[in-house]
Structure 1
Amino acid sequence: MQTIDFKPRFLKPTETSSYLDRRESSLVEATDFVYNRFNSQTLQVQRQKLPIFNNRRDILYLLEKHQVLVLVGETGCGKSTQIPQYLIEAEWPAQIGVCEPRKVAAISLANRVADEMGTFVQGDTVGYAVRFDACTNQPKIKYMTEGILLREIMGDPLLKNYSVIMLDEVHERTLYTDILLGLMKKILKKRRELRLVVASATVDAEELQKFFDSGSDQKKKHNSAILSIRGRQYAVDILYLKEPAPCYVQSTVDTVLKINSSEAPGDILAFLTGQEEVDRAVRILREHASILEQEKKKNKIEILPMYGALPHYEQLKVFRHVSDGYRKVIIATNVAETSVTIPGIVYVIDCGFVKLKWFNNETHTDSLVVMPVSKASANQRAGRAGRVKHGKCYRLYTEDEFAKLADSTPPEMVRSNLTYVVLQLKALGISNILQFDFPSPPPVKNLKSAVEILYALNTIDIKGELINPLGFNMAEFAIDPLYSKILFSSGDFGCSEEILTIISMLQVESVFTKPSTGNMIAKSRIQRRNFEVAEGDLITYLNIYSAFVKSEMDKGFCHKNFINYKAMKRVADVRSNLQKMALNYNIPLISCQGNTEAICKCLVTGLFPNAAYLHYSGVYKTVRGNIELYIHPDSVLYTIEQPQWLLFCEVVQTTKLFMRDLTVINSDWLLELVPHFYHKTTCYNY
């Protein structure tokens, strides 16, 4: 094996100063920056210890001979950070694009590669582009999210600026993953010099190879190759419960405390299903952590949350080392299952459940369903414990239940609302969606439902072609088409400022904190009434944000009113970026000055498929599909007199189908604003 002589680049004082000016970093960040650069030699030694280092020449050879390389290697083997560097060292021309399913992965990997290459992030060598935070230059190695790459294809259909594209963590099979796999297959046929690396921890490599080889010329029959990289996995002991847990959130908390009091040093990673559960567990564990601090015990813990809606600077805290005498405890959703390797994890707690979206094509609604994980996901979670040494995985379910789990999680393409997918493909010039080559073809009913909704939104015409300019403009927004339609209509109703706020509030999972004790729960409910209005949740969100801004975004205001400060800061960031995009598309920024009827009417223009009425039986039913729905207990409408007609933003399925984020409307507005979708009939009962 050839030994590579790595020469780290150390920054001059002027370069360091320039970097600090651009990033507006603090003195601590400046110290870390210089420190990391002078540790480049250490990082280069670590690079050579990675399992993928032994396959360096194999990777470069296969990419010379084949257009597609399907790379199978466990998370932590180095594929996401090393392959781009190998290509740069081999002097591949043009850019190297690395596509990640989550922004935290793109940012953390870019930082890591920049450290290893002795440069700074967002420079000419390494950069990243995520939603609302993109590099303005063209770095040699560019980490990005899947949505960013899709929008780049809209502007440059053949990706002429890139010589290699790497799709990472393909086994997650998100909507964007399947779209990009289909698009890259078409692009590769046009650009023979372009190379594609499909990387994954657990994936059926032969199926992907057949997908890319199918339809190829006889001369290019073997256009793809498979390479498996041996991991560096330590043994992991799997422990099961003898009896099912009555509450997996409380069992997670109990297991963390048990590990902390009885097991050897090592960080803990616990998996839960969503933000609310994570915040609840974090709140309880921090109370225990404060007790350990007061008693000055040795086994102190530092609790950190990890979920997609968390601001990225908060997510990056999980990668930092804790002080001596502390054990790091990370409570996460499945965002920590793949994509990133969190250092120091020795113990994993698997609740056995995951929250997934399932689309009902009859009601045109997505339902968030908490369901058991698959065996592949359970094994992936367990593998988190074997990265640094012998680990343990505590599964909060019985061994018999594990045997009953499905082998793999269904791809998002076959269980999701495809409205945004169809809109994106139409914008890319793909007129016949049914003939598009999906790795996992979606149900035809879901595609039909998506086309119907886009037609009702006046985004496509009767022939299925995008209407210019509205259809193309909506495709540029990285939000649900229902929301982008509301935003583009807001200028006509004179309430674009309020609509920007409401849509931004809907981009976070929850803006409220949930106390665990009875007295605090009652107090939080009383404080929330200061913002509640009879028009529903969305106008309540508007009141909350307005009060937050008037308080000058004060953290004490949030604490007093039981509002999630981090979520509100995220809302402010999203709103700022949406406002810039609105100005680019000439949407007039107008305030309705408290005219809630104008806001509610504007909401009808986009959310009209999600209309429900109060049935004489006392339950709500959707206008289309006649599905029984209930008001979610967290809604402001739960404790007041039930309105006759309302709109909902999403449906959550637990014991019942619950509607969330509600707005009270007048049924006449549906006939007035969307007569092409609703019409009035008379029903005779015989």
Structure 2
Amino acid sequence: PRDARVPRSSARTMREMFQARTAWPAYKKMLAQRQQLPAYGFREQIISEIRDNPVVLLVGDTGCGKTTQVPQFLVEDMLSNPKTQKCQVVCTQPRRISAMSIAQRVSAELADPPGSFGSDRSLVGYQVRLDSRVSASSALIYCTTGILLRRLEGDRALSDITHIVIDEVQERTLESDFLLVAVRRLLARRPDLRVVIMSATVDAQRFAAYFQGCPIISIPGRTFPVDVHYLEDVVELTGNIGAIGLDEEDLELGGDALYPEQFLHGSYSNGTRRTLNRMDENRINYELIIALLEYLCSNTAEGTQDDAILIFLPGMPEIRTLHQMLSANKRFANTKRFLTIPVHSLLAGPSQELAFRRPPPGVRKIILATNIAETGITIPDVTTVIDTGKAKEIRQKRQVTMLEERFVARANARQRRGRAGRVQEGVCFHLFTKHRHDTMMIEYQLPEMLRLPLEELCLRIKVYGYGAVDRFLADALDPPKPAAVETAIRLLKEVGAFNEEEALTPLGEHLAKLPIDVRLAKMLVYATVFRCLDPILTIAAAMSFKSIFVQSYDRQREVDTATNAFRMGDSDMLTRYNAYCAWYVTQTTKKRMIPIEFCRRNYLDQQTLQMVEDTKRQLLGLLISSGLVKADQATARMLMRQVRGGYRSRSMFCPIMPEANEHASQMALVSSIITAGLYPHVARRDRDGSAWLVRGQPVHVHASSVN
């Protein structure tokens, strides 16, 4: 994508553009709407505090308008001042869909001419990986946090930027916490720079202390009361009293009182009590969700039949499953009455825009979303929320980073139910018990810096020239433990990214361009050098998931037989690649088998395979944007369409350039690259082949392995 540091229009040109449109009816109409938002009532205070202080912390309830309004206040203030010499406000978002959708909304509010977004006639743009819509006149740019960090690499003073707005800091991602350290250091060099830290829920005093007691502005939200129900209420309301989630063996192992009576508040039927004792809260209960939807749509109050229903799910596989079930349901498949819309950070473009539009009269939206809908985007007509209480978190197990499904924190649950009260009184159904909410959920999510590998941050610290890794990370709001830093440095030395003096090597410079696990990054770099991209790209993507094969306790022998049918030597990774290739062939040849039927026969997980394909697109995009893979404009455009289309493009496969795949059939080469990437975390057989050894010590190979 184009760098946001395009040649800048003069502040005078921008000022003339802005002042001309303040007289336009379109601007005045939007201004009247903006003035209804709670944030607008704090406009003068916000502008004044930001003028007088290098850092301002703004805490605003969901729906107050801080994300759209505060950056606009800054642009409007500067472009109304004849003395302004330069104007560029950059607002970071943790997700690409947020950056894109918010930028387009703000563009409309600033009365950019129709069809001009991102052009020289527009004051607003966005920049995300693989997609940039900025121009010389972009006074306000919404971008992902990673994009701003990439700008730091090229310009450590961020000399073109006048204001940085860091939004959604409560998510405490690795990138946002890293950016806070970098910005705090930058302020010593740029006393003219102004920084706004924004959050929906945050420990305000801690953040203020981190920035030397910066002022705090609190903006109340515009919310209505929300009626809250928990799992026990949902079971009682729907009459869904079958045995759900646990089988008889589970009950015997766990005892017959999985949900003790003393934890059950209120008056509930015996059927509800029995069901709760048999229910596994750790599983997504799709049947219960559909039963609840049927109950809601049969018992809707007069005047609310068209209000949207928002369902929080952990990730794309769960969104796909529920979407397919609703599409197969006679009632909800009726597009004259219901419109089911998936919302995920991987998705963008027209399919996502439907979520923000009001449907025709008589049609009800059912929105299937991940935690992006907690704070990152606002869907205005939602009055009912169904919350599974789950989210996907990045975790590291057995030296491999992968997504894991976990219960959210209480702060996240509050954000989710608050979405039901944006426009009027609403209702929220949490699909976990009140006992779990009150006693088992943590209050706030643990910062990623305290639970994720630090190798990527260590590489960035060196690339940006910040000196010693341990000293930089010690300046973080929540510094990682010294042992975690030492582990990261040791791994970077093992893979060849750092030398013994902890200086960046030529390989390390390439690995730093890829914001993924360094071992996978090393495999991908080698794959581009030796021109065997597709197998390594597929294997690297598959390593982010547990297995592409179905996990079955009662049919494990059949699963093992199916796995062995795809076996390639002694390699689990090549076996999975072989199975993926067979799945690919079924969908791309003339005699194509229905993918679901092929997966059923071969005990393959269709959802996981599709997620592998989605991840391949992302990884290829990283390789192209970093310059490690060259792609012509047509291929780059196709990949961008797939990334934007996401869910809608699930039948399209990741485009692989032939010249990057010349040696893809040489499995010995592929195996060597895998070994080089994972070394020294490798095992070998002893001389008689009876045991596996790691550094001379015997280890156990998991039963699911082909070995």
Q: Same fold (TM over 0.5)?
A: yes
Deviation, structure 1 residue 345: 1.0
**The one of 349, 352, 355 aligned to 2:386:** 349
Q: Which moved more, 1:197-206 or 1:490-499?
A: 490-499
1:426 aligns with 2:462: yes
Paired position in structure 2 for 1:150 = 149
Contact 2:567 2:706 in 1 (8 A): no
1:374-385 correspondence to structure 2 within 5 Å: 374-385=409-420
Paired position in structure 2 for 1:175 = 174
Paired position in structure 2 for 1:455 = 493
Paired position in structure 1 for 2:219 = 229
- The residue type paired with residue 675 of structure 2 is V
Supply the distance in 1 between the matched residues of 2:530 and 2:99 (Cα, whole angstroms): 39
1:71 aligns with 2:58: yes
Deviation track 1:133-183 (CA, whole Å, cap 9, x = no partner) reads 123634211111111111111111111110000000000101111101111
1:406 aligns with 2:447: no
Alpha-carbon distance change, 168 to 399 in structure 1, aligned in 2, over 3 angstroms: same
- The residue type paired with residue 357 of structure 1 is I
Deviation track 1:537-588 (CA, whole Å, cap 9, x = no partner) reads 5523762686489559x99976775656986885675466355347557897
Q: Which moved more, 1:375-384 or 1:399-408?
A: 399-408
1:336 aligns with 2:334: no
Alpha-carbon distance change, 572 to 248 in structure 1, aligned in 2, over 3 angstroms: closer
1:47 aligns with 2:34: yes
**The one of 594, 600, 603 aligned to 2:665:** 594
Supply the distance in 1 between the matched residues of 2:127 and 2:696 (Cα, whole angstroms): 40
Supply the distance in 2 between the matched residues of 1:174 and 1:624 (Cα, whole angstroms): 38
> Which blocks of at least 5 consecutive residues in structure 2 are unaligned?
1-17, 80-85, 233-272, 600-605, 632-658
Alpha-carbon distance change, 175 to 107 in structure 1, aligned in 2, over 3 angstroms: same
Contact 1:511 1:568 in 2 (8 A): no
Supply the distance in 1 between the matched residues of 2:184 and 2:527 (Cα, whole angstroms): 39
**The one of 360, 370, 384 aligned to 1:323:** 360
Paired position in structure 2 for 1:126 = 124
Supply the distance in 1 between the matched residues of 2:200 and 2:670 (Cα, whole angstroms): 47
Contact 2:54 2:193 in 1 (8 A): yes
1:577 aligns with 2:621: yes
Paired position in structure 1 for 2:425 = 390
Alpha-carbon distance change, 261 to 95 in structure 1, aligned in 2, over 3 angstroms: same
TM-score by length of 2: 0.73
**The one of 337, 340, 355 aligned to 1:303:** 340
Contact 1:272 1:351 in 2 (8 A): yes
Alpha-carbon distance change, 628 to 379 in structure 1, aligned in 2, over 3 angstroms: farther
Q: Which moved more, 1:450-459 or 1:240-249?
A: 240-249
Supply the distance in 2 between the matched residues of 1:226 and 1:526 (Cα, whole angstroms): 62
1:261 aligns with 2:298: yes
- The residue type paired with residue 580 of structure 1 is I
Deviation, structure 1 residue 41: 4.5
Contact 1:52 1:79 in 2 (8 A): yes
Deviation, structure 1 residue 113: 0.7
Paired position in structure 1 for 2:706 = 643
1:110 aligns with 2:148: no
Supply the distance in 2 between the matched residues of 1:236 and 1:106 (Cα, whole angstroms): 28
Structure with greater strand share of residues: 1
Contact 2:99 2:144 in 1 (8 A): yes
Deviation track 1:439-490 (CA, whole Å, cap 9, x = no partner) reads 11112222111111111110100011111x2212221223332222112222
Q: Which moved more, 1:46-55 or 1:607-616?
A: 607-616
Contact 1:8 1:41 in 2 (8 A): no
Deviation, structure 1 residue 273: 2.1
1:272 aligns with 2:323: no
Supply the distance in 2 between the matched residues of 1:500 and 1:452 (Cα, whole angstroms): 25
Supply the distance in 1 between the matched residues of 2:502 and 2:356 (Cα, whole angstroms): 47
- The residue type paired with residue 239 of structure 1 is H
Contact 2:97 2:346 in 1 (8 A): no
What secondary structure, in the 3-state scheme, does the structure 2 residue paired with 1:263 have?
Answer: coil
Deviation, structure 1 residue 291: 3.8
Alpha-carbon distance change, 42 to 513 in structure 1, aligned in 2, over 3 angstroms: farther
Alpha-carbon distance change, 542 to 76 in structure 1, aligned in 2, over 3 angstroms: same
Q: Which moved more, 1:125-134 or 1:237-246?
A: 237-246
Deviation track 1:189-232 (CA, whole Å, cap 9, x = no partner) reads 1100001000000011111110011xxxxxxxx5x211001210
Supply the distance in 2 between the matched residues of 1:453 and 1:194 (Cα, whole angstroms): 36
Contact 2:664 2:670 in 1 (8 A): no
1:607 aligns with 2:678: yes
- The residue type paired with residue 370 of structure 1 is E
What secondary structure, in the 3-state scheme, does the structure 2 residue paired with 1:417 have?
Answer: coil
What secondary structure, in the 3-state scheme, does the structure 2 residue paired with 1:406 have?
Answer: coil
Alpha-carbon distance change, 586 to 305 in structure 1, aligned in 2, over 3 angstroms: closer
Supply the distance in 2 between the matched residues of 1:625 and 1:412 (Cα, whole angstroms): 32
Alpha-carbon distance change, 531 to 343 in structure 1, aligned in 2, over 3 angstroms: farther
Paired position in structure 2 for 1:137 = 135
Deviation, structure 1 residue 622: 7.7
Deviation track 1:338-377 (CA, whole Å, cap 9, x = no partner) reads 21112211111122333323345xx433464433322111
What secondary structure, in the 3-state scheme, does the structure 1 residue paired with 2:163 have?
Answer: strand
- The residue type paired with residue 143 of structure 1 is Y
Supply the distance in 2 between the matched residues of 1:69 and 1:602 (Cα, whole angstroms): 48
Alpha-carbon distance change, 630 to 42 in structure 1, aligned in 2, over 3 angstroms: farther
Deviation, structure 1 residue 502: 4.7
Supply the distance in 2 between the matched residues of 1:525 and 1:323 (Cα, whole angstroms): 50
What secondary structure, in the 3-state scheme, does the structure 1 residue paired with 2:393 have?
Answer: strand
Supply the distance in 2 between the matched residues of 1:442 and 1:107 (Cα, whole angstroms): 32
Supply the distance in 2 between the matched residues of 1:627 and 1:232 (Cα, whole angstroms): 58
How many residues are aligned here?
A: 583
- The residue type paired with residue 98 of structure 1 is C
TM-score by length of 1: 0.75
What secondary structure, in the 3-state scheme, does the structure 1 residue paired with 2:660 have?
Answer: coil
> Which blocks of at least 5 consecutive residues in structure 1 are unaligned?
1-5, 11-36, 214-221, 632-637, 645-686
Deviation track 1:2-24 (CA, whole Å, cap 9, x = no partner) reads xxxx98859xxxxxxxxxxxxxx
Alpha-carbon distance change, 609 to 406 in structure 1, aligned in 2, over 3 angstroms: farther
Contact 2:409 2:445 in 1 (8 A): yes
Q: Percent identity?
A: 29
- The residue type paired with residue 406 of structure 2 is M
Supply the distance in 1 between the matched residues of 2:355 and 2:698 (Cα, whole angstroms): 45
What secondary structure, in the 3-state scheme, does the structure 2 residue paired with 1:577 have?
Answer: helix
1:285 aligns with 2:285: no
Q: Which moved more, 1:81-90 or 1:536-545?
A: 536-545
